[in-house]
Amino acid sequence: MIIGKVVGSVISTRKNENLVGNKFLIIEPIKSMAHAGDRLVAIDNVGAGIGEVVLVATGSAARIGCGMESAPIDAAIVGIIDEGVKLE
Amino acid sequence: MIIGKVVGSVISTRKNENLVGNKFLIIEPIKSMAHAGDRLVAIDNVGAGIGEVVLVATGSAARIGCGMESAPIDAAIVGIIDEGVKLE
Amino acid sequence: MIIGKVVGSVISTRKNENLVGNKFLIIEPIKSMAHAGDRLVAIDNVGAGIGEVVLVATGSAARIGCGMESAPIDAAIVGIIDEGVKLE
Amino acid sequence: MIIGKVVGSVISTRKNENLVGNKFLIIEPIKSMAHAGDRLVAIDNVGAGIGEVVLVATGSAARIGCGMESAPIDAAIVGIIDEGVKLE
Amino acid sequence: MIIGKVVGSVISTRKNENLVGNKFLIIEPIKSMAHAGDRLVAIDNVGAGIGEVVLVATGSAARIGCGMESAPIDAAIVGIIDEGVKLE
C-alpha cells in the first residue's frame, strides 16, 4: 500500500456500469513514498475527504478487498491515517 | 486508475482471437498523473473518442471489470471524465 | 497494453515445463510508450517475427488471455500492428 | 520480492474491516533493490520489528500468500533476513 | 519476463511457512532490460546458480506458474538462458 493525500475528485457520468455509485478521488502519494507526486485515481472505501491522508491499495487487492470483484477498479482508499502520525 | 487523453488509435488485423471486436486506443496520461506522458494502449469500454479525457483501469481490473475475463487485456477505458472538470 | 518492436529472441533449454513449446521474443517498447526502450521478454501468441511492431499484454492477462493459465508467463505478444500505422 | 528495512509504522483507526488486526509497517527498499528509497506500506506476516531487514512480497502474492484473500492488501512482509547477510 | 543475472542469495530463517524449502536468489536485470540494475529477489524454479543468466517471471505468473498458488511469491526464475546467446 502507499500513503497519499486526497487532493481532489473527478466526475465521470458516462462510465462502466460496475463503477456506478463510487466516488473517484485523486490521490497524491506523499513525498517519501514510491511514486511520490505521481497522482492516481482511487475509489473510496472508507469515507475519506479532501485533504485527508489515506492508505491506498492497488491492483487486484483494491477490487477484491473492497467487495467489488467484477468492477474495473485498480486502486482504493482502504484506511484513513490517524492524525498526528508523523510520516515524512 | 489514471486519467489520460485519447490521442490516437491503432489497428491490428492479426491478433489473439479473444481481442476481436475491440478498439485499441492510445492513451497519454495527463501531466499530474503517474507515468505522465508515457502512452499505453487500452481497449474502449465506454465509447470514448479521440481527444476525450478518460479514466483508465489497468491490470486484472481491465479484463475482469469489463467482462472479458479470458482476453489478453491489461488496460481499459472505463469512464469519460465530465467536461469542465479541472485536472491540472 | 504497450506497443513495441521485436528486436530479438532468446533460447532457454532448461526451463519450467509449462513453458515448453513457446518462443521467447525480446520486445523494445516504442519511444512514445511507457517504459520506452526498456526491453522485456514476451511469448509469442500470434506468429510475430523479428522487426515487426506488436501489441504486448502484461500481467495475468498474458497468461490467462493466451490460454496458458498455469504457465509462468507475464508478457505475451497478442497482436501485430498493421503496416502503415503511424505511431510516433 | 524486494528486500527492505522497516523504518516505521502507521496507524489507521478508520479502515476497511478486512484490515482489522493487521500492523502496517513502513518499508524502505535497500539501495541495490528496485525502487530503492521509495517507501511502501506492508502488513506484517512474520513478527518483524522496526530496524529489521525484511523480504516483502507485493501484488496478489501478499494477499493470497498470507491467507487474507479477501483483504485489500498489496504488500506483506513474508520473511526476516538473517543477520550477517551482506546485501549491498 | 525479464532477463537477469543471479548475483547472490539471501537467507531468511523466520519466514512465511509457505516459503519453506525455497531458495531466494538476488537477480540483477541486464542492462537493456526494463528496470536495469534494479535488483529483485526471486525463488528458483529451475536449479539456477550464481552467475547464470536467467529468465524471471513476476506477478501472479511466478506463484501460479510454479505450482505454488498459495505462497507469497511474486518473482521466480523460470528458465536459464542458453550460453552463447547475445543479449546486449
Q: How confident is the model at residue D85, as a pLDDT?
A: 63
| CA geometry: angle B27, A7, B8, nearest 5 deg | 10
Nearest CB neighbour to A61, from listed D13, D41, D74: D74
**pTM score, whole prediction:** 0.95
Chain C residue numbers with beta carbons less than 8 Å from the beta carbon of B17 are none
Chain B residue numbers with beta carbons less than 8 Å from the beta carbon of A63 are 60-61, 64-65
Least confident of A16-30, E37-51, E72-86: E72-86
Least confident of A33-42, B60-69, D56-65, D74-83: A33-42
In tens, the pLDDT along B21-71 reads 999 999 999 998 878 779 999 999 899 999 999 999 999 999 999 999 999
- Asked if pLDDT for residue A88 goes beyond 80, the answer is no
| Contact status of D19 with chain E (Cβ, < 8 Å) | no
Torsion sign (Cα): A85, B1, B2, B3? negative
CB atoms D76 and E71 under 8 Å: no
For residue E57, the SS3 value is strand
Chain B residue numbers with beta carbons less than 8 Å from the beta carbon of C80 are 12-15
Q: How confident is the model at residue C85, as a pLDDT?
A: 63
Q: How confident is the model at residue B19, as a pLDDT?
A: 97
Question: D2-80, which class in CATH?
Answer: mainly beta
The DSSP symbol for C46 reads S
Task: Give the CATH number of domain B2-13+27-80.
Answer: 2.40.50.220
| Contact status of A36 with chain B (Cβ, < 8 Å) | no
Percent above pLDDT 90 for chain C: 84
Q: Is C47 exposed, middle or buried (0-12, 13-18, 19+ CB in 10 A)?
A: exposed
Give the three cell numbers for residue E26. Answer: 538476488
Spell out the residues 6+ positions from residue E83 whose beta carbon is closer than 8 angstroms to its own: none
Nearest CB neighbour to D46, from listed E10, E15, E60: E15
CB atoms C63 and E66 under 8 Å: no
The DSSP string of B48-82 is: --TT-EEEEEETHHHHHHTT-TTS---EEEEEEPP
In tens, the pLDDT along D28-45 reads 999 988 787 799 999 998
Q: How confident is the model at residue C53, as a pLDDT?
A: 97
- What's the complex ipTM? 0.94
Q: How confident is the model at residue C2, as a pLDDT?
A: 96
The DSSP string of chain D is: -EEEEEEEEE--SEE-GGGTT--EEEEEE-TTBTTTT-BEEEEESS---TT-EEEEEETHHHHHHTT-TTS---EEEEEEPPTT----
Spans of all domains in chain C: 2-80
Cα–Cα distance, D75 to A40 (Å, whole number): 18
Chain D residue numbers with beta carbons less than 8 Å from the beta carbon of A62 are 72, 74
| Contact status of C77 with chain E (Cβ, < 8 Å) | no
For residue C63, the SS3 value is helix
Q: How confident is the model at residue B86, as a pLDDT?
A: 66
| CA geometry: angle D14, B2, D19, nearest 5 deg | 25
Search chain E and give the residue with CA nearest C57: E1
Nearest CB neighbour to E74, from listed D1, D35, D46: D1
| Contact status of B36 with chain C (Cβ, < 8 Å) | no
* Shortest CA gap A10–chain D (Å): 22
Percent above pLDDT 70 for chain A: 94
Instruction: Kindly list the partner chains of chain C, i.e. chains with 3 or more CB atom pairs below 8 Å.
Output: B, E
Would you identify the CATH topology of the domain A2-13+20-80? Answer: OB fold (Dihydrolipoamide Acetyltransferase, E2P) (2.40.50)
Helix (H) / strand (E) containing B29: strand B24-29
Search chain E and give the residue with CA nearest D62: E72
